[in-house]
């Protein structure tokens, strides 16, 4: 059974810092891995999608990497801003989407 873990559960950083969020999964037989952002009381917004054949994807200040063999993905956020404050969720897609419990990020001005 696929299990997805995200570390850390919460993170507080000063504005401008570069930071890394971690996601690990137990079964490497996945179609893809997707990173989402969730603002309080809102739905999920897709940030980056990495197909199983890819190693990384970039969008603006965000870079996500995937190492299927070790069951790990990282989301790198460069030059963090207060507007980046949100919960970040990773999800792996095999038969269905399985989510981690998220990392709650707070960027302090």
Partner 1 sequence: NAGVTQTPKFQVLKTGQSMTLQCAQDMNHNSMYWYRQDPGMGLRLIYYSASEGTTDKGEVPNGYNVSRLNKREFSLRLESAAPSQTSVYFCASSEALQGAWSAFFGQGTRLTVV
Nearer to partner 1, 14 or 53 (CB): 53
Task: In angstroms, give the least distance from the CB of 56 to partner 1.
Answer: 14
Cβ-based nearer residue to partner 1, 9 or 78: 9
* Cβ atoms of residues 100 and 79 within 8 Å: no
Distance, CA of 31 to CA of 96 (rounded, Å): 10
As measured in angstroms, the least distance from the Cβ of 76 to partner 1 is 20
Can you give the C-alpha Rg of the chain in angstroms?
Answer: 13
Using CB under 8 A as the criterion, which residues of the chain lie in contact with partner 1 when the complex forms? Answer: 4, 31-32, 34, 36, 42-46, 49, 51, 89, 91, 93, 96-102
Apex CA 44: angle with CA 87 and CA 63, to 5°?
A: 65
Q: At 83, is the secondary structure helix, strand, or coil?
A: helix
Q: Which is nearer to partner 1, 18 or 45 (CB)?
A: 45
State both tokens at 38.
């969730």
Question: Among residues 22 and 32, whose Cβ is nearest to partner 1?
Answer: 32
Shortest distance, position 103 Cβ to partner 1, whole Å: 11
């Amino acid at each position: 059974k696929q299990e997805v873990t995200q570390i850390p559960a919460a993170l507080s950083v000063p504005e401008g810092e570069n930071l890394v969020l971690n996601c690990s999964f137990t079964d490497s037989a996945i179609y893809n891995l997707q990173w989402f952002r969730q603002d309080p009381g809102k739905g999920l917004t897709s940030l980056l999608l990495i197909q199983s054949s890819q190693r990384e994807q970039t969008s603006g200040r965000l870079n996500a990497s995937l190492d299927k063999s070790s069951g790990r993905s990282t989301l790198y956020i460069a030059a963090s801003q207060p507007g980046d404050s949100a919960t970040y969720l990773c999800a792996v897609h095999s038969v269905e989407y399985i989510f981690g419990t998220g990392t709650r990020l707070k960027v302090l001005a």
